[in-house]
Structure 1
Amino acid sequence: MNTTETAFSFTKTALDGIKPTDKRAWFRDSKTLGLSICVTPAGSKTFYVIRRVAGMGRKGNNEFIRLGVFPDMTVEQARVGARLKLKSLNAGESVRAAATARKEELTVGDLWGVWREERAVGPTPDRPIKRSWRKDQRLYDCHLKDRAKRRVSEITSTLAGKIFRDVTVVSGPVEANHVKRLARAMWNHAIKHHGLDLRNPWSTLKDNHEVRREEWIKPSQMPALFKAIDSVGNQDVADMVRLCLFTGARSGNVKAMRWDQLDLDTAIWTIPSSHHKNKLIHTIPVPPPALEILRQRVGVSRDWVFPAPTKAGHIGEIRKTWHAMLKAFAAELALPEIPDLHIHDLRHTTASWLVGQGVSLPMVGKLLGHTTTVTTARYAHLATDPVREALEKITAAMGRSGPV
């Protein structure tokens, strides 16, 4: 191998200072036996353990055992790895067997492929396992795909933390939390179902603090919202949006609403546990405005309240119509830009209005299908009118009590 070889004590500063040349260059660490780094003309720097092996010809031969890429692997990690590797070699480990096993090790790309096939999309793309699989795909493509060829063992907790911090800086704390949760789930799935024998490097990372969205339609804005809903051309989607608002249900459940879930005589909608986020049977009373919409839609389909217009199943993507609604909503209110409202914010709107009208948090939680009061407690600060009424009563009583 035609290389230039120089020995010195490895430090981060020293390795950062190595400039690539038109040939591969090898440098040895003077502090750790066998530890070297290879610098390619493209500028990549990879740690290796180089070991002269007897029995491979009259003079023996060198075997190169890859440790990791600098700076993702630090100098200290490389030194520890080199010492452990040499210790195992001296104990009689087969270098070639180890190299073969390393070649067969799963990569990050392999883990994503398994996750996509078994937990996200599944064997039938038209009916994916996970409704949010496109979000998983986007997170992987934007933040993990550039490490697709890395072996899973190279993604240490240190490197996972670096990826997490980089995403936090570039794309924000919420995006970083989502990337971490996806990666942790991918690793856990491989550990549990595919015999991946290592510790999950994402499990020790703490989520960034997230400020909850407080977007909801205020009472003064409601007439403008209904005008915007009435204005769009696709009134099937408009009816779906109205039902989201009138019932407080998740948009996914409204889209997948079936006639066999509804009892129009008693005005009850029963969502089966298989279709509910918390895997519980959830019963929602249907108020008169929602009941009127449903009666008008009787006969549009045998199975679905909102059938898909061009294929079997229920209605799917509504982003284009939702954007048109928001544009009309902004125009009605003379807003300088389209507001950052999500379809899920209609659920928050219903809950916020209920709390504002004095409905107790447990009752609101029951309507929304929450399993704990902690989830509903996010709306507690909106219950100002009941608090005001109670405060006025006690202060009036204080004033009447007179001096003691």
Structure 2
Amino acid sequence: MTEVSTKFKFTKSDLAAIEKTNKRVWYRDTQTAGLAMCVTPAGSKTFYVIHRVAGMGRKGNTEFLRLGSFPDDFTVERARDAARKLLKTLNSGESVRAAVSAKKDELNVEEVWEHWKTERSVGPNPDQPIKRSWKKDQRLYDCHLKGRSKRRASEITTTVASRIFRDVTVASGPVEANHVKRLARAMWNHAIQRHGLAAQNPWTTIKDNHERSREEWVTPAQMPALFKAIDSAADRDAADMIRLCLFTGARSGNVKAMRWDAIDLDTAIWTIGSAHHKNKTINSIPLAPPAVEILRLRIGLNDEWVFSAATKSGHMMDARKGWSAILTAFSKELKLPEVPDLRIHDLRHTTASWLVTQGVSLPMVGKLLGHTTSVTTAKYAHLAIDPIREVLNRTAAAMGAIAGKESVSHE
């Protein structure tokens, strides 16, 4: 490569063409006074503003203020604009170190996360976390944001955030990237509102990746095989829990934490209190005869919990092992080439889908499932084709009958 002068008009192509050497090299922009780039032996390229403090003699006190890396944080034009603004605000005799010191007091990414975790996720009592999904937040941070933990929050520009989002999309999929973006956006908003972070939220302008909604459910033809697999399960607690998920349409977390004092077997009603419901509303679920039969057989096993377990909470927390065994038996019954991608939560979709195909209205299905908006239930609308066909057939027949009478009256 032709040797590049250390003083030239910065352009994207010229800066990108600079190769690393065995020592640190400084380059100066001839268009914007004070703008410089430092290239390290490791190959990193960082924009700086070089400023001589007034009133310090001819030699003065030259100070350096880091702007950000090229091209991750700053393009050439953005670096020029930032340098001009910074030099304009520095009054005669003002030390750039004061600005650097102020910047050091700014929150870094790790501190933004810690504020979010201690104030919005876990809270003051770790035994009763504010967010049930705080462990998921921890995983998302550890996997995708922790690598930038020491960087200032203001250094995570929209460009950097977009690059993080893109990299997660490629490496871990579009849904994971959406979750990372939503967590980061909430973290930055919290730091801005509660901790005086003087920065715009870089995550707000990023559009979510398209997510294909899951529509996995057990069809009528598959249901006998599923019940046969459940009957063969060695883990009877898991088997009963899964049956109740099917018969009630409730979330598996609520079924695992069923309390006897919330169940009235005489009226066959199970009431989930607002404190235990995802949408913070009271939800009363009618219990079908098969569900009542399961519950009656479990009377006496524990005075407090329907599914007691040796856990910190006292009730069942994890049924993945039992569910995995049932899925394996299910796939063998159907002679499938591999175990299907069915989750316990898909049992809830199964119940809702069956209700809709049986002609139950979407508002009624939404009420049973505890949905607060009709939008959530609307995803089952396409399954209502048979009830709609039946009504349409009756309507067409009625129209045809009237048309027949009219033709007779005109003869």
TM-score bin (small chain): over 0.9
The alignment's TM-score, normalised by the length of structure 1, stands at: 0.93
Q: How far off its partner does 1:169 sit?
A: 3.2
Task: Report the Cα distance in structure 1 between the residues aligned to 2:114 and 2:26, rounded to whole angstroms.
Answer: 35
CA contact (8 A) 1:160 1:202 kept: yes
1:360 aligns with 2:361: yes
Task: Report the Cα distance in structure 1 between the residues aligned to 2:141 and 2:123, rounded to whole angstroms.
Answer: 17
CA contact (8 A) 2:311 2:317 kept: no
- Tell me the residue number matched to 1:192: 193
Q: How far off its partner does 1:399 sit?
A: 4.3
Task: Report the Cα distance in structure 2 between the residues aligned to 1:22 and 1:279, rounded to whole angstroms.
Answer: 62
- Tell me the residue number matched to 1:266: 267
State percent identity of aligned pairs.
Answer: 71
Classify the secondary structure of the residue corresponding to 1:65: strand
Which of 1 and 2 has greater Rg?
A: 2
2:352 aligned partner, one-letter code: A
- Tell me the residue number matched to 1:324: 325
Q: How far off its partner does 1:28 sit?
A: 1.3
CA contact (8 A) 2:53 2:94 kept: no
1:189-224 Cα shifts (integer Å, max 9, x gaps) = 212222222221112222222221111110111111
- The CA RMSD over aligned residues, in Å, is 2.1
Task: Call closer, same or farther: CA 1:26–1:395 in 2, change over 3 Å.
Answer: same
The alignment's TM-score, normalised by the length of structure 2, stands at: 0.91
1:31 aligned partner, one-letter code: Q
Q: Which runs of 5+ in 2 are unaligned?
A: none
- Tell me the residue number matched to 2:26: 26
1:252 aligned partner, one-letter code: G
CA contact (8 A) 1:20 1:39 kept: yes
Task: Report the Cα distance in structure 1 between the residues aligned to 2:322 and 2:16, rounded to whole angstroms.
Answer: 52
- Tell me the residue number matched to 2:82: 81
Task: Report the Cα distance in structure 2 between the residues aligned to 1:301 and 1:5, rounded to whole angstroms.
Answer: 81
Task: Report the Cα distance in structure 1 between the residues aligned to 2:337 and 2:90, rounded to whole angstroms.
Answer: 69
1:54 aligns with 2:84: no
Q: How far off its partner does 1:230 sit?
A: 2.5
1:105 aligns with 2:102: no
- Tell me the residue number matched to 1:345: 346
1:331 aligned partner, one-letter code: K
1:67 aligns with 2:67: yes
- Tell me the residue number matched to 2:9: 9
Task: Report the Cα distance in structure 2 between the residues aligned to 1:225 and 1:126, rounded to whole angstroms.
Answer: 37
2:69 aligned partner, one-letter code: V
Q: How far off its partner does 1:312 sit?
A: 4.3
Task: Report the Cα distance in structure 1 between the residues aligned to 2:56 and 2:304, rounded to whole angstroms.
Answer: 73
Task: Report the Cα distance in structure 1 between the residues aligned to 2:234 and 2:267, rounded to whole angstroms.
Answer: 32
Task: Report the Cα distance in structure 2 between the residues aligned to 1:89 and 1:284, rounded to whole angstroms.
Answer: 67
Task: Report the Cα distance in structure 2 between the residues aligned to 1:41 and 1:247, rounded to whole angstroms.
Answer: 64
Task: Call closer, same or farther: CA 1:229–1:43 in 2, change over 3 Å.
Answer: farther
Classify the secondary structure of the residue corresponding to 2:65: strand
Q: Which runs of 5+ in 1 are unaligned?
A: none
CA contact (8 A) 1:215 1:345 kept: yes
- Tell me the residue number matched to 2:298: 297
CA contact (8 A) 1:107 1:149 kept: yes
Task: Decide which moves more: 156-165 or 66-75.
Answer: 156-165
